């Protein structure tokens, strides 16, 4: 009797694992990595920017596992854009850690590209911004100076009423061809 239950359990486990493996491609597709939105954003730091189009990334200075590889890739890609495009498209890194040194986010962002802006947020600004963009973050349970956080890239466009989130890119590595295409479309709207 015990052997029959064990064989049945093993068979059931094999079937479940097989179904999961077959379903994995559906969970990681390019279509699911780019979300189209028209969410209006009325937050001071985003409205005073000169650029019509803005890329936005939330992280924290010193984050080596998530932020550094993404910002490094973004910096290289941003440098490959034409000067004319870079004049119209800004990049802001918003620091989730509320560092003691206000200049730390700017120094961290500029390490990846000289045009990147690093933004220090007060605790109240941090709450407003993370709520507006549905950004999750919390202190790491295992490492004192680390944070767990959402690592999405946001593309915003200025219109007559302010700025709107137009696209959210959730998969990494980023599809830079798609982002460039989206930026081109937004610039010419």
pLDDT in tens, 159-189: 777 778 789 998 899 999 999 999 999 998 7
Q: Where are the alpha helices (DSSP H) in 28-175?
A: 30-33, 44-47, 67-80, 83-88, 104-110, 123-132
Query: Phi/psi of residue 82, each to 5°?
Result: -65, 155
58: left (phi over 0), alpha (psi -120 to 50) or beta: beta
pLDDT for residue 37 is more than 90: no
In a domain, 4, yes or no: no
In a domain, 119, yes or no: yes
In a domain, 2, yes or no: no
CA distance 41 to 115: 23
Q: What is the DSSP letter of 173?
A: S
Element (H, E) at 154: strand 153-159
pLDDT for residue 130 is more than 80: yes
Confidence of residue 38 (pLDDT cuts 50, 70, 90): low
In a domain, 6, yes or no: no
Domain harbouring 170, CATH code? 3.40.30.10
Check residue 158 and give its pLDDT: 82
pLDDT for residue 27 is more than 50: no
> What is the number of structural domains in the chain?
1
Domain range for 43: 34-187
Burial class (CB in 10 A: 0-12, 13-18, 19+), 154: buried
Identify which of 167, 172, 185, 138 has the alpha carbon closest to the alpha carbon of residue 56. 167
Angle at 36 between CA 182 and CA 115, to 5 degrees: 45
């Amino acid at each position: 009797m015990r052997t029959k239950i064990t064989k049945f359990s093993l068979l059931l486990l094999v079937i479940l694992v097989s179904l999961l493996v077959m379903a994995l491609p559906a969970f990681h597709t390019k279509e699911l990595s780019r979300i189209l939105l028209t969410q209006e954003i009325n937050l001071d730091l985003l409205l005073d920017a000169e650029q019509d189009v803005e890329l936005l990334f939330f992280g924290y200075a010193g984050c080596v596992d998530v932020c550094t590889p993404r910002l490094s890739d973004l910096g290289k890609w941003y440098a490959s854009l034409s000067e004319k495009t870079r004049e119209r498209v800004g990049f802001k890194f918003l620091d989730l850690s509320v560092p003691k040194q206000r200049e730390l986010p700017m120094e961290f962002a500029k390490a990846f590209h000289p045009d990147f802006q690093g933004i220090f947020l007060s605790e109240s600004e941090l709450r407003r911004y993370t709520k507006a963009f549905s950004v999750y973050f919390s202190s790491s349970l295992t490492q004192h100076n680390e944070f767990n956080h959402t690592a999405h890239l946001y593309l915003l466009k200025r219109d007559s009423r302010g700025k709107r989130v137009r696209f959210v890119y959730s998969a990494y590595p980023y599809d830079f061809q798609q982002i460039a295409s989206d930026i081109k479309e937004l610039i010419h709207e």
